[in-house]
Structure 1
């Protein structure tokens, strides 16, 4: 397993990015639940964040691509606004053990 972070490192209605030898990922937390995605916009296959760990819009309700403003639902990764509307971010499975988030092998 690849250790990403402790769960308390991801704020409620917040996000955190990770770079691993398996690629770039980010996690968001909403209502205490973690959602993990590949850090790649389906429109242009580029990283989403505008600053480290900043993957959400100003209201902290939607994931937002910094390049062209596409917005995605936190729970499903579905694009609801922008050039890739109807497309989805790629969800990533994870393991939680001892309050720590891991990528499986």
Structure 2
């Protein structure tokens, strides 16, 4: 697996989620959600398991109003940020597709 730089860790605050597009060496553009919660960093493909559309309704607007879950703007499904598991909505029991991620020398890298 190759590490593709997404951003620097300081670009993503605690309890924050941002959208990124990265292009790995194979050329397939990936639309990602990168989340920082409780000192950990998680990455998911930015598409709802129910419809396949992107989750956010505006750039970088992924969390529900309470800030506890990632939320699909189209139908309100709620996903746990730490594992992408859907706890409520039409895709309850499904999960966002996780993308391996690591932090190396202050940079967030997705492993593709």
Structure 1 runs, 4 residues or longer, greater than 4 Å off = none
Superposed displacement of residue 8, structure 1 = 1.3
Superposed displacement of residue 104, structure 1 = 2.5
Q: What is the aligned partner in structure 2 of residue 36 from structure 1?
A: 43
Structure 1 length-normalised TM: 0.94
Gaps of 5+ in 1: none
Does residue 97 (structure 1) correspond to residue 97 (structure 2)? The answer is no
Gaps of 5+ in 2: 24-28
Show CA shifts across 1:33-88 (max 9, x none).
Answer: 11110001000001001111111111110000011100001111110110000000
Q: RMSD between aligned alpha carbons?
A: 1.1
Q: Separation in 1 of the partners of 2:93 and 2:69?
A: 15
Matches within 5 A, 1:44-83: 44-83=51-90
Residues 45 and 99 of structure 2 are in contact (CA less than 8 Å); yes or no, is this contact kept in structure 1? yes
Q: What is the aligned partner in structure 1 of residue 14 from structure 2?
A: 12
